[in-house]
Amino acid sequence: MKAIVLSKCGSPDVLQISEVPDPHPTANELLVKIHYSGVNYADLLSRQCRYSWAPKLPYILGLEASGEVIEKGKDVRNFEVGDRVILGVQSGGYAQYITIQESLALPMPNHFNFQEGASFLATYFTAWIAMTEMARVREKEVMLVHSGAGGVGTAAIQLGNALGLDVHATTGSEHKRQKIKNLGAEPYSYDDFDQKMPVKPNFILETMGGDVFKRSMKILAPMGRLVSIGATGIQYSKKNPISLFKAWRAIPRVSFRDLLRNSKGFMGLHVGYLRKYPEIIRPAWEKLKALVEEKDIHPVIHKVFPLSDASKAHSFIHARKNIGKVILDPWK
């Protein structure tokens, strides 16, 4: 089969397509024909050897995909050949086929096509866990989403509206601000959200780190909750000690005294590390799937690249051109 095997780290042009052996399912695994593969910001970090959840080199890049079951191991009980599934994996998404334990495969929402299936898990499920399981948002609360035009950001805006929240979001350009306004969020820039928001947020989904994180903690309402899921705003070069030091200083940190005096909370989330707790994942997934089906929510997809152009897909995201999701077609 064709796949993108990451064998050395570097710029997008290290992503070259190669021919690798087809996978075969063991007794409790499914063999899935991948229809589309999601590209995530974390893949860009993996490609640069900056992602802590990545396996050791070499491995097939890619954290999520949609597809159909084409074969099942003899002990598989809950899936049949032909079932449409969504997969969240530590590696293996940028390929034509993948095997996965049946306990880790998820049935695709009924109203999704395969492109939407590949655009869903890493973004919506992350936003959903942060909003409902960690911050426990309630109707009419004020939510601020940072990087609202990205994959996670657009998902969080849609979910916030579906849950009846008052949704506000930041983004890096005027063009994107107009887009997220159309999606149902009051838009701001990273520079002025803390000055311009007319109300204090009860919940903040934080993706940037650094100064954006610090100013976000300051504007949380009493009893407010901030969930940090990334630090996209922190860029550094391993060869430049000054940039490394600045990056280290920009990592989100909180003062216990500040939390205590202002009665607010800071939490961190990584959905990858949560995979080992099916008792958390399964019920949260069922609730999310039911909501997107009931409210007819569809992921915002910006562009589909052929798998052979994975390097162009990464460059596109580096250039901050995407509004919503970028996906790969492994059959082109």
Ligand X SMILES: NC(=O)c1ccc[n+]([C@@H]2O[C@H](COP(=O)([O-])OP(=O)(O)OC[C@H]3O[C@@H](n4cnc5c(N)ncnc54)[C@H](OP(=O)(O)O)[C@@H]3O)[C@@H](O)[C@H]2O)c1
Residues 6 or more apart in contact with residue 301 via CB below 8 angstroms: 115, 116, 119, 324, 325, 327
| Site stretch for ligand X (CB under 6 A), options 76-84, 267-275, 280-288, 308-316 | 267-275
Q: How would DSSP label each residue in 216-230? A: HHHHPPTT-EEEE--
Based on the shown chain and the rule CB under 6 A, indicate whether residue 300 belongs to the binding site for ligand X. no
Based on the shown chain and the rule CB under 6 A, indicate whether residue 303 belongs to the binding site for ligand X. no
Based on the shown chain and the rule CB under 6 A, indicate whether residue 42 belongs to the binding site for ligand X. yes
Based on the shown chain and the rule CB under 6 A, indicate whether residue 144 belongs to the binding site for ligand X. no
- Cα–chain-centroid distance for residue 243? 26
Contact residue for ligand X among 17, 34, 86, 122 (CB under 6 A): 122
- Interface of this chain with ligand X, residues 215 to 254, rule: CB under 6 A: 229-230, 232-233, 235
CB atoms within 10 A of CB 217: 21
30 vs 310, beta carbon nearer ligand X: 310
147 vs 311, beta carbon nearer ligand X: 147
Based on the shown chain and the rule CB under 6 A, indicate whether residue 99 belongs to the binding site for ligand X. no
Q: Are residues 16 and 98 in contact, defined by beta-carbon separation less than 8 angstroms?
A: no
Based on the shown chain and the rule CB under 6 A, indicate whether residue 149 belongs to the binding site for ligand X. yes
- Interface of this chain with ligand X, residues 2 to 31, rule: CB under 6 A: none
Number of residues counted as binding ligand X (CB under 6 A): 28
Based on the shown chain and the rule CB under 6 A, indicate whether residue 172 belongs to the binding site for ligand X. yes
Name the nearest CA neighbour of 129 among 309, 304, 267. 267
189 vs 262, beta carbon nearer ligand X: 189
Name the nearest CA neighbour of 220 among 129, 159, 142. 142
User: What is the helix (H) or strand (E) element at residue 47, kind and residue range?
Assistant: helix 41-47
Name the nearest CA neighbour of 206 among 180, 227, 186. 227
40 vs 96, beta carbon nearer ligand X: 40
Based on the shown chain and the rule CB under 6 A, indicate whether residue 46 belongs to the binding site for ligand X. no
Contact flags string 56-75 toward ligand X, x per CB under 6 A: --------------------
Determine the residue type at 119: S
Based on the shown chain and the rule CB under 6 A, indicate whether residue 123 belongs to the binding site for ligand X. yes
* Pairwise CA distance, residues 299 & 124, whole Å: 9
Q: From the CA atom positions of the chain, what is the Rg in Å?
A: 20
Site residues for ligand X per CB under 6 A: 40-42, 122-123, 126, 147, 149-152, 171-173, 176, 207, 229-230, 232-233, 235, 269-271, 317-318, 320, 322
